[in-house]
Amino acid sequence: MSTRELSLGHAAPAHVETGVWSWITTVDHKRIGILYGVTALAFFLIGGIEALVIRLQLARPDGHVVDADTFNALFTMHGTTMVFLAVMPLNAAFFNYMIPLLIGARDVAFPRLNALSYWIFLFGGVFLNASFLVGAPPNGGWFGYANLTTRQFSPGLNIDFWVLSLQVLGASSVMAGVNFIVTILNMRAPGMTLMRMPLFVWMTLVVQFLIVLAFPPITVGLIFLMFDRFFGTHFYDVTAGGDLHLWQHLFWIFGHPEVYILILPAFGIVSEVLPTFARKPLFGAPVVIYSGVLIGFFGFGVWSHHMFAVGMGPIADATFSMGTMLIAIPTGVKIFNWLATLWGGAIRATTALHYAVGLIAAFTIGGLSGVMHASPPVDLQQTDTYFVVAHFHYVLIGGSLLGLFAGAYYWWPKITGRLLDERWGKLQFWVTFVAFNVTFFPQHYLGAIGMPRRIYTYPPGRWWDFWNLVSTVGAFGIGVGVLLFLVIAGRSLRSGTRAPADPWDGRTLEWRTSSPPPVHDFDTIPPVHGRDTFWREKHGDSRGHRPAPAPPAPEPHGIHLPPPSYWPVVIALGVIVAGIGALVSLAVVVMGAALTVIGAWAFALEHHGDPALADQTGVLGVDSRKVALWTFLGSECLFFGTLIASYMAYKGRSVVGPHPHEILNIPLTTISTFDLLMSSLLMVLALAAVQRGDTFQARLWIFGTAFFGLIFLGFQAWEFTSFVHEGLTLQTNLFGSTFFVLTGFHGAHVTLGVAWLLTLGVLHLRGRLPARDAVKVEVAGLYWHFVDIVWIAIFTLVYLVP
């Protein structure tokens, strides 16, 4: 257990701050979880209203509820809202609130970063929906296929809102992903090995790796689209040699892992709910863990089954077809293990159990239709029909939403300290479950008889009328079910029965503390003796033996909860101001960027030097900051890997402009490369000097490394200027577009590294970087070495390979 964990609490603090400002500045993981939940619920209601208007328009032939342009905006915003602003943050609400409790920790690894990810998510979601207020909602489909989203075919601000907001939301997700990976791996209670972690924690861990590895490709795709729209590049310009399929590949490399990002948390919830209410351990828990990991792994190898209709060829089609069939195996394993858990159990039919079993039924139907799409001939018939709409709603509502409702009923007493009404809850389940099937099951038939998706109206006499009306009635039934939940939740908060610490006779650590938990989560960090450790403490193992009580871990520092901070709000506000500026003027972009930089600088220096936070060594025996950086660099590998792969795919496809190797200045770039490599040597010397307390040499090498970085940036600026004089710009041809974006983003990373080093140098000059804080220099050094390694790859592939 880390010193930081020990320092975060010993007993309840004397006073808990209340009021609006305390929620704005909070870094408490439980409050941030509640903020995520409330915000996501609001967006969910907005997305639901959009869906109901869509269904009203399609209820009868020749509908006139909305026109075609409005319909396009509604289904684009409905899909975007439900995926990025509703289901993902609803999952994040449970991650934030429950993960530290489930692993016996007092908080997440980086509480202020956690707050920053929330505020960026909130402002990004508001920015996206503000498009309605200016009459320019995104209208190109929620997966934004090129070339529909290029400036030629979408000249307004509609797609600009979509592109910018998704990049902001992606940054929020990656921050949260890094934070939770470090929290789960490095902050577990004593005795909690990886195989003793609850299933929800395991599924959360898999999801966070999916996030940090899947978001870089879509980020690169969005960057390319942004540069095409704002700066006239040619990434998706067929006349300049571009390929429209590049967008599809980048989107679906993210898009299919995103499916599992949405449903694996629900699988984890079901794996916690079923054992509790069957009063028996999860059947084959290790196998369920391995199957979840395999789902995450295989999820990266099946993206092109979304592209069978684009003409990839028989080899690619067969490969992705087999991969799609294979991924059904670990999914099926989970279903059989869940059923085996229920078999022979002492079933307690709570509302949470109803939703968990409903998920099994609904997701099985969605999974079976998904296996059908693994066959390219079948997929070709069903592509772009309502059969696909039925399939992914059975997966995402049947898989995600029903699981989220199960989690809400299961953990509501822990979060609020009050119980939900079980009788009304079961009624709400049946209304929701029946209405869900009434809505989406008929859409299988509609798709099979040829109804295309994304059409805003249809003529009579095609046998679509009746089932569209039925589907619309069912959609409003789902709306009634959601409203019932809001009423039940409101009644519970106002006058619900008080919940004890352990209302369900739970199996995991969150039930070991009060409902709701204190600010510090646990009075003492609970020891873990095996899987379902709290159940073992209460009831013993299968032979009735209870583990001997362990003495409480010493907590010498007393209470030291992370203090509130308003800098996360400032940074998030700066990011959104810059986004607004991209739509308005360069001056506003500069203002937003300045606000972001000021906030980030203050954020980095806030609470610097607190001795209680100096040692963040966790159960891995590694400082949490190093684990976080390694995780982030893994994401960066995918980011630069995607940029480099795009450059290689487009290499030699420019139809106009100078030949690259006629203007590339290899001798000059060789010198700048040598300079950057030497800066890595200076970084090593700087770390060694800080570790041994050598003040003069530490300052010399830190500032020397930053100086060498500035020299490299000077060489790059000189080279860019000479290329412009030679007639090569971003807009000239595909080589110009790929070259400037690839090397420019590397230069931006070098600039960030220089700013980081200068910050450390200033801290050292002020005597605030002692030897015990050498890990801060080590982390900066890891980043700097990574940037140098990336440049070696770029220099080799761009400058040296013909």
Active site residues: 78, 107, 142, 172-173, 256, 258, 260, 271, 305-306, 331, 334, 453
- 205/190 Cα distance (integer angstroms): 19
Reported residue count of the chain is 802
- 598/577 Cα distance (integer angstroms): 14
* CB 99, CB 182: distance < 8 Å: no
* CB 34, CB 415: distance < 8 Å: yes
Question: Rg of the chain's alpha carbons, rounded to an integer?
Answer: 27
- 531/527 Cα distance (integer angstroms): 12
User: C-alpha angle with apex 224: 800 to 379, nearest 5 degrees?
Assistant: 105
User: C-alpha angle with apex 249: 248 to 255, nearest 5 degrees?
Assistant: 80
Tokens of 392: 């992914």
User: C-alpha angle with apex 268: 266 to 272, nearest 5 degrees?
Assistant: 115
Measured distance between the N- and C-terminal CA atoms of the chain, rounded to whole angstroms:
53
Phi and psi of 52, rounded to 5°? Answer: -65, -40
Residues in CB range of 163: below 8 A, 6 or more apart: 144, 149, 222, 225, 226, 229
Distance of CA 375 to the CA centre of its chain: 30
| Nearest partner of 519 among 65, 29, 45, judged by Cα | 29
Coil, helix or strand for 617? strand
| Nearest partner of 302 among 319, 279, 284, judged by Cα | 319
Going by the DSSP 8-state scheme, the letter that residue 25 receives in this structure is S
* Neighbour-count burial for 28-45, b at 16+ CB within 10 Å, e otherwise: bbbbbbbbbbebbbebbb
Going by the DSSP 8-state scheme, the letter that residue 546 receives in this structure is P
Containing 373, the helix (H) or strand (E) segment is none
* CB 429, CB 292: distance < 8 Å: no
Residues in CB range of 89: below 8 A, 6 or more apart: 36, 37, 39, 40, 43, 121
